A and B are shown apart, each in its own frame.
Chain A
């Protein structure tokens, strides 16, 4: 068998969580003496060895500052850093790597846009959001409104957790200066019809930003096909390190927006009587960037692409179906967000058991979930709950871990239930 044929055969072999788990040393640990069942992937994913190796190789073989040195190490670091930018371009299918700005994460990506949009806003302007946004896609726009007098309009969420598309269509109109929508609800896992929403924004001639923090490691992306102006993502939610993320912005926007932060890297020439700015994306990357983080992000994208994101997503969908089936049978348990399509996130409340207490009981069983408002307080208010328990899955999770989640919920009901 030639090596190419062997590779093809390997690619066609069905993936299993068991083999994938071997790539993630962090999963082979124990908590309270029990094997870790890490079901908090919507908060942050674990890192594969390939990402850790890429970080080590960078530190050992090439760490130096980028875009500055005349020496070989700096050239190597620059090539790897810009290689990661090209990797992110390909991940998003952006038209040019110049449309990728590295940031600390989706939060900074959104803030970058919000901080640079003042010139388009006045007291008649409206910014359209949805009721399922993460605080990071609410607060920067509120701050923009405070500075400019613009108003926020919020498209409601239906009982199923789906976005009320008819209401959203009614809100996007002549006054809309920007639409900002999450691709996937971090609290519920519900996937929004982004292409359709982008079309609504396009018809109103309004730019649209997509918060892709929850989507980018799970859904194949094509920003040109989606038709968005901005797309924000976080590395740590897609198997890369913390402190790195990216903002995709269509080139005309990067030319038009003023710089975000001032400093080195973002300038062409500095004089006390005036400074000229570097071309995008460098115009938006003041200071020495998170070089190793960008390289780690590129390595994570390579890892995911190597297995095939669609095949990994199919594993996750299987986990969603199994977890939904197991949990909906638990007496007194209500799943928040039942709309389809969904990523592998199950958010729920149980009569008489507070999410924090459930989280502690599950922790003792080695099962890590998130308990609380998931930085989506308006959505919690919408459903009349202070918070939920959220189990969120990645391709490396197993049915056995879901069984342990269900058993842990049983333990909590025995310990804490009113019965």
Chain B
């Protein structure tokens, strides 16, 4: 087996894939979004519990939704490859309990780091570093980014299904 392959499917990645964290639907989530990769059919749903400030509804119905305060709980469901599952699982571990604005920044940082030509900017993002070598596989980058883009959509209360295309 080639060392590149072992680098891509690192122990951490496989461990998350086999036992994904926070891998379940959420009853009455405050925010939820679906993501879809039309190239391979992979689907991700991200659920968020984001309690508002006192007297402010968590997800206003008048369309003036704003960034919540905190990610009190995050979970996901997915039908996807090992890379996608690991990425989603690591994401929920990293963002659970985070301040919403911090979480959003971290998601943006991950998405930025996986853009074509980006150099390594994953240093302080915990286990996500283990997915860094996916950048050598252009056709697989969407597998990493789909959960993060779906999370961003959930945070923004975007009702549209996220597509990798």
Contact = CB atoms under 8 A, between A and B. Distances in A.
Interface string B9-44: 100001001100000000000000000000111110
A32 B14 CA distance: 22
Contacts, number: 54
B5 interface: yes
A139 to B, nearest CB: 13
A356 B40 contact: yes
A361 B5 contact: yes
A360 B137 contact: yes
Nearest to B4: A364
A380 interface: yes
B81 to A, nearest CB: 4
A360 B140 contact: yes
A411 B1 CA distance: 7
Of the listed residues B18, B40, B137, the one surrounded by the most CB atoms of chain A closer than 10 A to its CB is B40
B82 A416 contact: yes
Nearest to B14: A416
Chain B interface residue bracket vs A: 20 to 34
A364 B4 CA distance: 8
Contacts of B140: 356, 360
A372 B41 contact: yes
A415 interface: yes
Contacts of B79: 386
B15 to A, nearest CB: 12
Contact of A354 (B4, B39, B43, B80): B80
Contacts of A357: 9, 81-83
Contact of B82 (A32, A354, A414): A354
Contact of A364 (B2, B14, B17, B39): B2
Contacts of A414: 1
Of the listed residues A360, A386, A411, the one surrounded by the most CB atoms of chain B closer than 10 A to its CB is A360
A372 B36 CA distance: 13
Nearest to A374: B41
A372 B79 CA distance: 12
Interface in B81-114: 81-83
B43 A386 contact: yes
Contact of B42 (A361, A377, A386): A386
- Top-5 shortest CB links A-B: A354-B81, A356-B81, A386-B41, A372-B40, A373-B41
A364 B1 CA distance: 8
A415 B40 contact: no
A203 to B, nearest CB: 38
Contacts of A361: 5
Contacts of A415: 1, 5-6, 9, 14
A355 B40 contact: yes
A356 B83 contact: yes
A322 to B, nearest CB: 25
A369 to B, nearest CB: 13
Contacts of B67: none
A189 interface: no
A372 B5 contact: no
Contacts of B41: 372-373, 377, 380, 386-387
A410 B102 CA distance: 43
Nearest to A358: B81
Nearest to A377: B41
Contacts of A32: 2, 4
Of the listed residues A32, A355, A356, A364, the one surrounded by the most CB atoms of chain B closer than 10 A to its CB is A356
